[in-house]
Structure 1
Amino acid sequence: MSLHDREKMKLLQRIRKMRGQLDAVERALEGDTDCGDQLMLLAAVRGGVNGLMAEILEDHIRFHLVDGAKEQIAPDLAEDLIDLVRAYLK
């Protein structure tokens, strides 16, 4: 299995986990679960989506703006951009 395939599997596993979290939100709403518990479930979903978005953005920066682009950006600039993305998606 190539590195790309392993990364793809990790991303798909994250999506499956988020799907389970969304199912938990649905069950909580149907079952009249406490609002505080519902909010905690929603925060977990939001964290999952933000984490997935950060991962995909990081891959895009690394593989399309640094290594594979016609006009490449400096690796240290790419790292700064990745840090910025991760900070804002927390």
Structure 2
Amino acid sequence: MSHIYQDKKILNRIKRLQGQLKALEQAVQQPETSCIEVLQQVAAAKGAMGGLMNELIESHLRQHVITDETAINEEELVRFLAILKRYN
């Protein structure tokens, strides 16, 4: 997957996720932080991880699975990616 190192979108998602996890770590160390606040932060981090997974899957499909430009069924690819996003 050597192409990933060039993808700024993926790197930005990872950096956002790191920020969310740092904030979560700090929140659980504060006695005044409510369980609901922590749960909201966990849900946000989970969503961010799902978004990262979706980007990686799409990148992999476009770079490695669909290699013949004339054989791409863009409509089917869009439907496949929508399903992944719905259940992730």
TM-score (norm 2): 0.79
Residue 75 of structure 1 pairs with residue 36 of structure 2: no
Q: Which residue number corresponds to residue 12 of structure 2?
A: 13
CA distance in 2, matches of 1:65, 1:75: 13
Identity rate of aligned residues, in percent?
33
Contact 1:21 1:45 in 2 (8 A): yes
Moved over 4 A (4+): none
Equivalent residue letter for 2:16? K
Equivalent residue letter for 1:9? K
Equivalent residue letter for 1:65? V
Q: Which residue number corresponds to residue 37 of structure 1?
A: 37
- What's the Cα RMSD here? 2.2
Q: Give the drift of 1:8.
A: 1.3
Q: Give the drift of 1:73.
A: 6.4
In 2 relative to 1, CA 66–75 (structure 1 residues): closer, same or farther, beyond 3 Å? farther
Residue 63 of structure 1 pairs with residue 63 of structure 2: yes
Q: Give the drift of 1:10.
A: 1.8
CA distance in 2, matches of 1:66, 1:85: 17
Q: For residues 49-72 of structure 1, what are the alpha-carbon distances to aligned partners after superposition, in whole Å with 9 as ceiling and x for unaligned?
A: 00000011111122222225xxx6
Of stretches 78-87 and 43-52 in structure 1, the one that deviates more from structure 2 is: 78-87
Equivalenced residue count is 83
Greater RCO between the two (CA within 8 Å, min separation 6)? Answer: 2
Equivalent residue letter for 1:60? H
